Amino acid sequence: MELLLENIHEYIGNEVTTTEWVFIDQMQVDIFGKVTRWYNQGHNDPSWAAENSPHGGTLLHGFFTISLITHFLKLGGFYFPDGRDPLNYGMDKVRILRPVLIGEGIKLRDRISLLDVKNKDAGCRLIKTGHQIETDDNAEGPAAYIEYLNLWYPK
């Protein structure tokens, strides 16, 4: 199946892809904390978190998880050869469903579903995808659920 901007509406209501695993470690979490100015013990101090956190270690920032959506879209093949210049149009729903411990590192992947497609001016299409971000630690259920809106221009 080749996903095209022209035919994407045919896949509404379907899970279209599950991405490969993406590895996240403490160093990446530390950098994210510094860049976003949310550098704190629960996310960035493994010794403190091991001793004091109710989770037993540092946690992945919820916003870090969310920020991976565009990477997951590209990884999952949601970059259309007949489209150009995608723009982040926002999110309709975001839920962080459970904490994600970093430990020695964690792998995340995304189950991507197509929820809706709307035609906009000048041949643009507003694409709404559903994202279930999973971890490889055998935890039950996804760590996050996001409904993401992406505006695409035709070539």
- Exposure of 48 in the CB half-sphere (CA atoms within 13 A): 7
List of domains in the chain: 8-154 (3.10.129.10)
This prediction's pTM: 0.94
pLDDT digits (tens, 9 = 90+) for 16-31: 999 999 999 999 999 9
10 Å Cβ neighbour count for 72?
A: 24
Of all residues in the chain, what percent carry a pLDDT higher than 70?
99
Q: Which amino acid is at 72?
A: F
DSSP-derived letter for residue 102 is -
pLDDT digits (tens, 9 = 90+) for 65-90: 999 999 999 999 999 999 999 999 99
